[in-house]
Amino acid sequence: MQEFHPKTIIEPFRVRSVEPIRFTTLAERETALAQAGYNPFLLHATDVLIDLLTDSGTGAMSSRQWAGMIASDESYAGAASFYRFEAAVKDITGFRHVIPTHQGRAAEHILFAAIAKPGDVIPNNTHFDTTRAHVEATGAEARDQVIAEGRQPHLIHPFKGNMDLAALERTIAEVGRERIPCIMLTVTNNSGGGQPVAMANVRAVSEIARRNGIPFIIDACRFAENSFFIKLREEGYADKAPIDIARELFSYADGCTMSAKKDGMANIGGFLALNDDTLATRCRNLEILTEGFPTYGGMAGYDLEAIAVGLYEALDEHYLRYRLRSIEYLGDKLSKAGVPIVLPTGGHAVYLDARAMLPHIPATEYPAWALCNALYLVGGVRGVEIGSVMFGLQPDGSERPAALELVRLAFPRRVYTQSHVDYLAEVILAVNAQRNELPGYRIAWQAPVLRHFTIRMAPIRS
């Protein structure tokens, strides 16, 4: 008999514990959305059928993670759970010092407080919003230097998250190495659509950093998804295990920041990992101020256990194939039906292009917000607007349209099955069929900063 190679990529797990989802009527959703000020962030999660607001901390844990949690050590100092967590992080990243934090932004807070000051510049392919906020809080400049292809939503390129190496060299020449406390690389590039970075690019950034004596730090939130993209798309990696690809990736860097709510497969947690002894001591001292003792750092022992197991599960090849395929599967269905999306699909989300889909709604009436709300009204699906509501308000109070009007549909890890994705495609196509009738929105009330979280909107009915 021959080895059977099925075309169907199945969920690589069976369901052991279920969580019911609540079906609502259109009238119920209309009421819920109106009560939420037409802001999906303000909906009660129980009024949502398929929740794609974020992939952060929303994944399902495995029976092995739960087993680890039950057997956790909650000692204040030197808990066995910390040593299991530390061993896993060291085994995968190879970094000498592991500093646990309650989530990714806490690792960023500690790192930048330790190394950055006013007048400094930190280059990155694209800073995630919390990364940018922590860089800017120190008075330094967060400079995005992704390749030009990474800024074009419909252009196909295997590694749209790559750093623009020439731009990086220009930045170093212009500001001087002494004003660049580190170079960062975000894998995958979340704000750029979850697009991967090639190993060759990681190697080249590392070479530039070392030649200039600048530390190189990886924002590792989706390191496992990025490693699998390298396996699928980069020459020489097809036969390598994801964990070995991840180890090579980290070997080029001097440290990393991590949100364990992503590829840590946990509901909370994170870490900062570093090679430099002096810097690590400085960071541990800062950690004690804001996070806690260095062997728990803002987490319970059971969180440390969940991450120690989750980091390996995120690198499982069957899991990664299912994960990337479920996102690509939705992307393929939408593309075939003519729905405009960001291409190619990335590692954790599908992005709908609302400007292309709703040309009758001007940026001043927030087309991506309109599309996001239509998905909820039609199918109980919650996504998130990444457009002019999120980015349009300028520090001086004026309004400027965002570069792109997108709705991000982020997939929680191991939560939804293929039939959920089929349903999702049906909802999006139903919305697409009535796209010309969708109303734009106006702002009814807004906060002065990060307004999208609490904003209240109203549909413009003509």
Ligand X SMILES: *Cc1c(COP(=O)(O)O)cnc(C)c1O
Per CB under 6 A, residues contacting ligand X are 56, 103-105, 128, 130-131, 186, 190, 219, 221, 259, 261-262, 270
Nearer to ligand X, 56 or 62 (CB): 56
Q: What is the smallest separation between the CB atom of 189 and ligand X, expressed in angstroms?
A: 8
Q: What is the smallest separation between the CB atom of 131 and ligand X, expressed in angstroms?
A: 5
Residue 361 contacts residue 355 (beta carbons within 8 Å): no
Question: Nearest-CB residue to ligand X?
Answer: 104
Nearer to ligand X, 161 or 379 (CB): 161
Report which DSSP code applies to 4: P
Q: What is the smallest separation between the CB atom of 220 and ligand X, expressed in angstroms?
A: 9
Nearer to ligand X, 97 or 134 (CB): 134
Q: How many CB atoms lie within 10 A of CB 147?
A: 22
Q: What is the smallest separation between the CB atom of 272 and ligand X, expressed in angstroms?
A: 12
Nearer to ligand X, 72 or 190 (CB): 190
Give the span between the Cα atoms of 29 and 91, in whole angstroms: 47
Q: Is 37 exposed, middle or buried (0-12, 13-18, 19+ CB in 10 A)?
A: middle
What the block records as the tokens of 454 is 């609490």
Nearer to ligand X, 193 or 440 (CB): 193
Q: What is the smallest separation between the CB atom of 51 and ligand X, expressed in angstroms?
A: 17
Residue 283 contacts residue 96 (beta carbons within 8 Å): no
Nearer to ligand X, 231 or 348 (CB): 348
Residue 339 contacts residue 429 (beta carbons within 8 Å): yes
Q: How many CB atoms lie within 10 A of CB 326?
A: 20
Q: What is the smallest separation between the CB atom of 109 and ligand X, expressed in angstroms?
A: 9
Give the span between the Cα atoms of 291 and 280, in whole angstroms: 15
Q: What is the smallest separation between the CB atom of 180 and ligand X, expressed in angstroms?
A: 19
Buried b (16+ CB within 10 A) or exposed e, 327-349: bbbbbebbeeeebbbbbbbbbbb
Nearer to ligand X, 68 or 298 (CB): 298
Nearer to ligand X, 225 or 405 (CB): 225
Q: What is the smallest separation between the CB atom of 269 and ligand X, expressed in angstroms?
A: 8
Phi/psi-derived region of residue 239, left when phi > 0, alpha when psi is between -120 and 50, beta in every other case:
alpha
Enumerate residues 6+ apart whose C-beta is below 8 A from 439.
361, 370, 459, 460, 461, 462
DSSP string computed for 388-407: HHHH-B-TTS-B---S--EE
Residue 253 contacts residue 235 (beta carbons within 8 Å): no
Q: What is the smallest separation between the CB atom of 365 and ligand X, expressed in angstroms?
A: 29
294: closest CA among 106, 111, 99, 104? 99
C-alpha gyration radius of the chain: 22
Nearer to ligand X, 107 or 358 (CB): 107
DSSP bridge pairs for 272: 99, 257
Residue 166 in 3-state DSSP?
Answer: helix
Residue 114 in 3-state DSSP?
Answer: helix
Nearer to ligand X, 125 or 432 (CB): 125
Q: What is the smallest separation between the CB atom of 158 and ligand X, expressed in angstroms?
A: 20
